[in-house]
Chains A and B, each alone.
Chain A
Amino acid sequence: DAGITQSPRHKVTETGTPVTLRCHQTENHRYMYWYRQDPGHGLRLIHYSYGVKDTDKGEVSDGYSVSRSKTEDFLLTLESATSSQTSVYFCATRTGWNQPQHFGDGTRLSIL
């Protein structure tokens, strides 16, 4: 257990509304990641962070933004949710550049 807590665990919302997902870690890991997992696509990287206030885009970043104001928290925001963003979202962390990632238990997000 890498001490990763995602909240909320489940959320249902409507198209066009803003949504923020939170990832909280207790391990003081430098690197944090947001993925989405969809059938047929596997895990795809949305955004990642390599330190406080240091973030970068992944392969599916359109429609998403992130913020990291503290080491322990990494927020993912959907500015105006669309039905195509219905997915399971996972947060991951790792200690160093050549270390494996450890995952939280995910947030199931449904956008109607």
Chain B
Amino acid sequence: QKEVEQDPGPLSVPEGAIVSLNCTYSNSAFQYFMWYRQYSRKGPELLMYTYSSGNKEDGRFTAQVDKSSKYISLFIRDSQPSDSATYLCAMWGIIQGAQKLVFGQGTRLTINP
């Protein structure tokens, strides 16, 4: 079982839709949770960074963390064609005495005009 599971998609939705992207994880030692956006032929760009369970909002983006279920989500409201990209979840914790950052495989998202 992978430490972090993320559906690779692809996911295609019409412009203006609400998009929900999700990751599950297996190790409760993960403490910090991130979402990155990666455009084609570019590096991952940090979108959201959260620590505690609950919601964090930034413009059209909302990150949700449920530590009890080991489940994180990224919601995109009023999706735009410019949101078309691959979205990577990532999580960090101290596991067996060492810092560990694990990425999901990424979900490829297309927003259709």
Contacts and interface: CB of A to CB of B under 8 A. Distances in A.
B32 interface: yes
B34 interface: yes
Interface stretch (B52-60, B69-77, B99-107): B99-107
Nearest to A99: B49
Contact of A90 (B32, B43, B46, B105): B43
B99 A97 contact: yes
B104 A103 contact: no
A108 B36 CA distance: 20
A90 B101 CA distance: 15
A101 interface: yes
Nearest to B94: A97
Interface of A: 4, 40-43, 45, 90, 97-98, 100-106, 108
